[in-house]
Amino acid sequence: MHLDLENFNLMLEGKATKEEHLNWTEHLLECPACQRDFRMLRELHAELAPKPKRNFSGLWRVASLAAVLVLAVWPIFHSSSEEEIRPEALATPETLQLLEQVKQVNTRREFANWGDQHTVVDLIKRT
């Protein structure tokens, strides 16, 4: 017994009963000729199946609007003024003290959680 075109179509369209599907699948596992035919029909069925159309018009509109907004707002936020902040201006004693405190807190946290992600050697290297 070999499967015919109608059997293949019922399987491909998912219209075969559970019993038919089980019997035909068992046959396909044992019959190289039916395997070859089923493989060819499955590929043909996939090629002929209607492809869903994608509508990108809404996405293009949103992307275009975002690009226009970025180009319109960019000069406002990215002005090339003569008055730029230099790193030396930020290095005040208060700022340096705050950075040292943050470093100490981070070091304490690393020591408290050293077994989770770090080895003792890693912590010694950091200090």
In tens, the pLDDT along 57-102 reads 677 777 887 888 887 777 676 665 555 666 666 677 887 888 888 8
Look at residue 67 and tell me if it is in a domain.
no
pLDDT at site 96: 80
Look at residue 109 and tell me if it is in a domain.
yes
pTM of the model: 0.40
Report, as an integer, the average pLDDT of 14-29.
88
In contact, 12 and 42? CB cutoff 8 Å: yes
Look at residue 23 and tell me if it is in a domain.
yes
Domain that holds residue 27: 5-48
The closest of 60, 56, 16 to 38, measured between CA atoms, is 16
Domain tally, the chain = 2
> Is the confidence at residue 33, as pLDDT, over 60?
yes
Look at residue 32 and tell me if it is in a domain.
yes
User: Which residues touch 27 (CB under 8 Å, ≥6 apart)?
Assistant: 1, 2, 3, 34
Look at residue 27 and tell me if it is in a domain.
yes
Residue bearing the bigger pLDDT, 32 or 79 = 32
